[in-house]
Amino acid sequence: MLDFKKEIAELLSKELPDLYLEEIKEMIEVPQDSKMGDYAFPCFKLAKTLRKAPPIIAGEIAEKIKGSDLFEKVEQVNAYVNMFVSKEKLGKDTLSAIIEGGEKYGTSELGKDRTVIVEYSSPNIAKPFHIGHIRSTVIGNSLYKIYQALGFDMVRINHLGDYGTQFGKMICAYRRWGNKEDVEKEPIKTLLDYYTKFHVEAEKDPTLEDEAREIFAKLERGEPEEVELWQWFRDESLKEFSKVYDMLGIEFDSYAGESFYSDKMPRHEKELEDSGLMQESQGAKIVDLEEEGLGVALIKKSDGSSIYITRDIAAAIYRKETYDFYKNIYVVASQQSLHFQQLFTILRKMGYEECADGCVHVPFGLVRLEEGTMSTRHGRVVFLEDVLNKAVEKTREIIAEKNPGAENIDEIAAQVGIGAVVFNELSNNRIKDYTFKWDTVLNFDGETGPYVQYTHARCCSLLKRAGEDVSSKAEALGKSGDVDFNYLSGDAAHELIKLLYTYPDVIVQAAERYEPSLITRHIIDIAQEFNRFYHDEHIITENEDEKTAKIALVLATRNVLRNGLALLGVASPERM
Ligand code: ARG
């Protein structure tokens, strides 16, 4: 596809021999207001070297480049050269790239032969998969798809929280108050009740904490009774988590969780010991990171039991040795930022610089409930499965009301209801805290998933209404760049084409910034611009050439909306 910015930079560089091409390219702007052109070049910086006033320079440049067939019009406005690209050139190139590319439009080979790990979801065994985990799951899944689209080799890891002192508490509680049938009937809710009860009772009787610690130590030593209970909790929990993953269409390549590293820690504890990084402090083992302003990291408790960060040290090194990753991305709440800073610093100090260089913590903000912050200990949680089921149920009601005879209502309600939750999640800038409100999630108007899905379905229905002959002609002529662009020169069509044209760049930016919401935003813009085009123009007209040109644009829009939704992990039904 034609790279307009680069073409323009090359044109300008002929007039500005003192500047590097890259420098010129960086100076080119995209004006907020399209009345100022599609691209603009500011001349302030040139005044010094050229010893002329910026508006004069802008005027001279405008004069020299305006003959190029890249442009429809070039104007000097104050210190700027404002460039209006040839609508035909842009349209031809964009439509043909999109129609030719199909599902591949927007993808590239940027990441060829490099491996990226995305670690996401990572819920804790025997604890609910709550709405707080949806952020990690959904953001991680989207980052996986985004990086994959850029040609990286991908590894998806679910770093299950299947180890740690909480299992001592859980086993302790189960033995005291538990009952096998209840656990089998409703594993996670039941185990959560025990866990909550443990904390209530331990406040009255602190010796319970000691008992739990003792049980965990036995588990670490591999005592069969403890291991058996732990394994049972893990299996039952995974069954529950899988229900949610199936609903969301999410998969993992590895479920190597914390327990996987239990036998890999001694090697690194020895390295820490030998290098003198690890110190004794009140019977425990620590690494002092005060100099780095990161406090002290506890590596081993005084009773000899291992710690979260120690398992993470082993995990990072294991991943480097196993996958030789280019990036190892952790999608984990911002509450754990200090933990990851400590982790990466310790890896560096241990001499694993290359490993540390590739590690990235992608943090995200907290989810609050309207009643306050979520807390597993106090049993104040919203279960993700309930959220998804409720969203599907509500969607079914809306469809049944709007369109009583709708076919496949179950399938569509699932795609739209779950899509609404996922899209909502990815609409927020990830770092911001937000409050989970049913009304916003299930709002089907405005800047939501259902709105984009509906626009996609509208494109599909236009393609059908235009008929097989026109649609295939539009496809063929769109591909070869031979539709009549005079019919696509209106404002809405031109703005829409510009958005479709920049879509591949948005994918790259989303990857660089680990921010799927850039894609969400971009496809909302496309949907809005398309709907403006739909309302401004008569698409299914009598004039065959006009209809063909417009249908080619509808086809291109449909492709990009579908591809964009797929990168978010949202389905695009053809009818709603
Ligand atoms: N299981 C943890 C939690 O739910 C998240 C794990 C994050 N990943 C890691 N490598 N530490 O809070």
Using one digit for the tens of pLDDT, what is the confidence trace for 349-378?
Answer: 999 999 999 999 999 998 877 766 555 555
Which pLDDT score, from 0 to 100, does residue 380 have?
60
365, 434 in Cβ contact below 8 A? yes
Q: What is the pLDDT of residues 521-532, one digit of tens each?
A: 999 999 999 999
- Write out the two tokens for 237: 């929990």
Pocket test for ligand 1, best of 255, 313, 332, 362 (most atoms within 8 A of CB): 332
Is 204 exposed, middle or buried, given 0-12, 13-18 or 19+ CB atoms closer than 10 A? exposed
Q: What is the mean pLDDT of the chain?
A: 93
For ligand 1, whether the C-beta of 159 sits within 6 Å is yes
172, 230 in Cβ contact below 8 A? no
Closest among 263, 269, 275 to 299, alpha carbons compared: 269
What is the Å distance from ligand 1's center to 372 Cα? Answer: 22
Edge to edge, the sheet with strand 296-300 lists: 278-281, 284-288, 296-300
Residue 276 gets the label, from left (phi > 0), alpha (psi -120 to 50) or beta, of left
For ligand 1, whether the C-beta of 312 sits within 6 Å is yes
For ligand 1, whether the C-beta of 38 sits within 6 Å is no
Of the pLDDT bands very low, low, confident and very high (cuts 50, 70, 90), residue 533 is very high
- Write out the two tokens for 310: 């120690």
Which residue, by CA, sits nearest to atom 6 of ligand 1?
122
More confident: 120 or 375: 120
Return d(Cα 81, Cα 56) in angstroms, integer. Answer: 10
Residues 6+ apart with CB under 8 A from 419: 449, 450, 453, 565, 570, 571
Q: CA torsion angle for 28, 33, 38, 42 (degrees, to 10)?
A: -30
Nearest atom (ligand 1) to Cα of 160: 1
Of the pLDDT bands very low, low, confident and very high (cuts 50, 70, 90), residue 187 is confident
Which pLDDT score, from 0 to 100, does residue 82 have?
97
Q: What is the pLDDT of residues 67-88, one digit of tens each?
A: 999 999 999 999 999 999 999 9
State mean pLDDT over 5-13: 95
Nearest atom (ligand 1) to Cα of 315: 10
Nearest atom (ligand 1) to Cα of 133: 4
More confident: 552 or 221: 552
Greatest mean pLDDT range, 204-218, 236-250, 348-362: 348-362
Edge to edge, the sheet with strand 359-362 lists: 153-157, 115-119, 327-331, 359-362
Predicted confidence (pLDDT) at residue 22 exceeds the cutoff of 80? yes
For ligand 1, whether the C-beta of 161 sits within 6 Å is yes
State mean pLDDT over 420-445: 83
The residues assigned a catalytic role are: 127, 130, 133
